[in-house]
A and B are shown apart, each in its own frame.
Chain A
Amino acid sequence: MAEPQTPLLSIRGLEVRYETDEAITHAVNGINLDINVGETVGLVGETGAGKTTTALAVMRLLPHRTGKITEGCILFRGEDVLRKSNGEMRQMRGERISMIFQDPMTSLNPTMTMGEQIRESLEIHNKGMSAALTDARVDELLTMVGIPPRRKHEYPHQFSGGMKQRIVIAIALACRPELLIADEPTTALDVTIQAQVLALMNELKESMRTSMILITHDLGVVSEMCDKVAIMYAGEIIERGSADDILDDGPHHPYTVGLFNSIPDIERESKRLSPIAGLMPDPAALPGGCKFHPRCGDAADACRSLAPPPFVSGEHIIACHKFGSSNGGRI
């Protein structure tokens, strides 16, 4: 890349553990990730790969008794998020980084009207704003996500799932954050509404130049939305690159290949899908070497004992022994 820009968010060697009396769960194991201004990065992986944990770590919202960040740093515009005080962090949440949760049915307060819930975020971050101005902004936000402002006096149960998710998006974007973390924003919605919500998010992202981390396990969503993709497995990023790198027919991590094989292809006739055999390893007892080797068809001796070196080709990086190593270190 010709002109290296400083990334908006940069995660370096992040390790997160959940510690309970019974076990230590290694949820995230040393990941690196950069998000530039205006860019959408897809974080893809199975359930339990550590995607949500990564997002919560960025927001500093890990469950405070069990969740611990043991290593690494998270730089937001060069400032270390992990060193901020709770008060500074609260300032940042909603105003500079905000988050959309998976299930719009449960992420809205059932006892507050939609208008009040959008207002709340505005009131917290704009202390001096007049009531009339706040009202106008609430109406503007509702219009922006395609909901008639006159419905702001209604409660969440009076809206459909897709409308609720659009309101959640309105709340998240209320203060024009620089970074939006969307944790499976369309998983709880049906397919037609999914497309609507994705289109809306794309449109708003473009107009506000918001960067986005899109957490998903849906490769279709990735192809529509993302500039860059990181594939996570057992708390590690095992393949990373531009959306084209990941979606094209070039070399891929065996896990990525497995992911693509487990979705139906309209051009190929096959009687059965080929899912990846086995399950994600228990993050409290991860295997040595490459974490994927117990499920990998190509596993060799080296895979069982050594962590795979990254294979780098331009922006595209794959952590697999199959491709050998181009330089040391981790992805």
Chain B
Amino acid sequence: MEDIDFNSQTRKKSRRGEIWRRMKKNRIAMVGLFIFSAILLLTISADLITPYDKAITGSLADRLTPPSSSHWFGTDNYGRDIFARILHASRRSLVMGIGAVLVGITLGGLLGACAGYYGGRVDSVIMRIIDTVICIPFMLLVLAIVAALGPGLVNVLIALMISMIPTYTRVIRSAILTVVGQDYIEAAKSCGTPNRWIILKHVLPNAIGPIIVQATMTVGTMIIWAASTSFLGMGIQPPEPEWGAMLAESKDYMLTAPYMVMFPGFAIALTALSLNLMGDGLRDALDPRLKD
């Protein structure tokens, strides 16, 4: 008996505590979390580790030197320290990647949830608009929006958010549709639960799995897309460092100085990987059926 009572005491912990406890058990997710925390920490303390000047100025005498003790990741074609550039670029890249995904998925999520839940005319109107927008090639849409707003980090971010909304809307709508037909949604209606409560408390939590996976998977893609706009001269303006832009700049030196491509590529891959691992773990932790 005492055993059971003890259990019920531990269960009184908050929901967030519960999720965290379950996440901790998932070793791979914790690795992801660790890597991502390290990246975040480095990003925040970039100025303490190496001054920003080092990332944007270099001497031509030092150009294209391979990794050494003075330049850990080597130098680029202008003699700038790649390590410093990657460190300072992380700020922009993370904001781009994560910001675009967060805002895009929130707006897309609301649209998708409404379309999937209400169905009928609401669904038709939302999805026809989405279908129309999705017909425009992604890059073209981003460029059109950036061109209209003018180049710059914030505008690229806005363009990416808007351009991702249709994709998220579709994914989330289909995730919602699998839940809407369930009996517990009907049961909630039979209790007189208002629609927005049903969407927020019953529908979305049960459809969260694919949404989280989609979100974490697209962060890496967003960084690359942001880079592509930089490559076309519409995003980050040189000499500001940004992972994607660094990748783009280094393509001419791929054969002679492969480290120039490798390190920014590695940074993007590592960020995307850590987020994916974390996302997987979070999805499992949020699903009480997989508990214990």
The reply on A34 being an interface residue by CB < 8 A is no
The distance in angstroms between the C-alpha atoms of A98 and B4, with both chains bound, is 34
Name B286's contact: one of A92, A111, A153, A154 (CB within 8 Å): A111
By the criterion CB–CB under 8 Å, are A124 and B288 in contact? Answer: no
Chain B stretch 120-134: residues in CB contact (< 8 A) with chain A: 120
Bound together, the chains give a CA A93 to CA B186 distance in angstroms of 12
CA distance A20 to B189 in the complex (A): 23
A187 within 8 A of B: no
Nearest opposing residue in chain A for B9, CB measure: A150
The interface-forming segment of B90-98, B104-112, B191-199 is B191-199
Residue B188 at the chain A interface, CB threshold 8 Å? yes
Given A150-B5, A155-B291: A121 and B186 interface contact (C-beta under 8 Å): no
Is A125 close to B, CB under 8 A? Answer: yes
Binary interface encoding of chain A residues 114-131 relative to chain B, with 1 for a CB under 8 A from any of its CBs, else 0: 000000110011000000
B192 touches A124 (CB 8 A): yes
A61 to B189 CA separation, bound complex (whole angstroms): 8
Contact-size category for A: 20 to 34
CA distance A103 to B184 in the complex (A): 10
B183-221 Cβ-contact flags toward A at 8 Å (1 or 0): 110111111111001000110011000000000000000
| A121 CB contact (under 8 Å) in B120, B184, B191, B202 | B191
Q: B11 at the A/B interface (Cβ < 8 Å)?
A: yes
Checking A90, A98, A150, A157 against B288 with a beta-carbon cut-off of 8 angstroms, the contacting residue is A157
| A93 close to B192 (CB less than 8 A) | yes
Q: Is A272 an interface residue (CB 8 A)?
A: no
Interface range on chain B: under 10, 10 to 19, 20 to 34, or 35 or more? 20 to 34
The answer on a CB contact under 8 Å between A109 and B120 is: no
Enumerate A14-64 residues with CB–CB distance to B below 8 Å: 59, 61, 64
Binary contact readout A76-107 vs B (1 if CB under 8 angstroms, 0 otherwise): 00000000000000111111001101010011
Q: How far is the CB of B32 from chain A (nearest CB, A)?
A: 23
Whether A99 lies near B190 (C-beta < 8 A) is yes
Interfacial chain A residues near B286, Cβ < 8 Å: 111
Q: Taking the complex as formed, is A65 at the interface, i.e. its CB lies under 8 A from any CB of chain B? A: yes
Question: How near does chain A come to B178, taking the closest CB pair, in angstroms?
Answer: 13
In the complex, the answer to whether A111 meets B191 with C-beta atoms within 8 Å is no
Verify if A112 is at the interface (C-beta below 8 Å from B): yes
The minimal Cβ–Cβ distance linking A142 to chain B, given in whole angstroms, is 13
Distance in angstroms between the alpha carbons of A193 and B140 in the assembled complex: 62
- The verdict on A259 contacting chain B, using a C-beta distance below 8 Å, is no
Interface residue? A171 (CB, 8 A)? yes
Contact of A110 among B188, B201, B288 (CB under 8 A): B288
Q: Which residues in A have their C-beta under 8 angstroms from that of B5?
A: 150
Select from chain A the residue with minimum beta-carbon distance to B182: A106
Asked if B11 and A64 sit within 8 Å, CB to CB, the answer is no
